[in-house]
Amino acid sequence: MHNNFIMPNTLVYELENKIYINLTNRCTNDCIFCLRNDKDDVYGSNLQLENENFTAQDVIEQLTEKLKAEQNPSDEIVFCGYGEPTLKLSVLKEVAQYIKENYPGKKIRINTNGHANFIHKRNVVPELKGLVDEISVSLNAPTPEQYDELSKPKFKDAYDEVISFIQSCSDNGITTTASVVEGYKGLGLNLEDCRKTSEKHGAKLRIRKWIENGY
């Protein structure tokens, strides 16, 4: 049944004294450990968007409200929500530009699945240079086979895409981290191979422990 009381989209939220921007619920992966599958709440912020027809200005409005209310100003703003932020690349760039111009002390990070160049059919990394200080890319696995098993990408050869995205980010001088989630339902990953792959392409490896009901 349609509910007449519609909550406004949560485009900006706070988690452990950091401000996050939630641009979409869509993704080109369908990871088996994705929290979009189990719950719609990250520490009290409902991140399921009612619609995705918002503009960069809508995000900026929510962001400035949050920044005004900040008790202990954080040094970083992160594009990360229940979906792949680079699907909203033009909004992301406009908001990042606004942050750089108006809050030059804040660092900007994107947490991404690394599919942006496939999505946009061009290398978008040079467009992010100067806007984004750090990119955290979900490597998720040491091999294409295991990546497909864990991340269930919606297109072929996605693992190669992720690797070349990581390489492009590091080539463009953006601090790049490759991340893996360890311990989901006892699944084992060869972390040493993940580390070698990350370092070979200019990124540090970050291992996140799977936490039930946490991000």
Q: Which is nearer to ligand SF4, 84 or 161 (CB)?
A: 84
Task: Give residues 71-100 in contact with ligand SF4 (rule: CB under 6 A).
Answer: 83-84
CA distance 130 to 152: 32
Say which residue the tokens 């060869």 belong to: 190
Q: How far is the CB of 111 from ligand SF4 (least distance, A)?
A: 8
Burial of 68 by CB count in 10 Å (0-12 exposed, 13-18 middle, 19+ buried)? exposed
- Tell me the sheet residues that pair with 79: 21, 110
Q: Does 162 bind ligand SF4 (CB under 6 A)?
A: no
The token pair at 55 is: 């503009």
Instruction: Note whether 113 binds ligand SF4 by CB under 6 A.
Output: yes
Closest CA to 130 of 112, 111, 104: 104
- Restricting to residues 22-61, name those near ligand SF4 by CB under 6 A: 27, 29-31, 34, 36
Least gap, CB of 95 to ligand SF4 (angstroms) = 19
Cβ at position 27, least distance to ligand SF4 in Å: 3
| CA atoms within 13 A of residue 186's CA, in its CB half-sphere | 0
Q: Which residues bind ligand SF4 (CB under 6 A)?
A: 27, 29-31, 34, 36, 83-84, 113, 138, 151
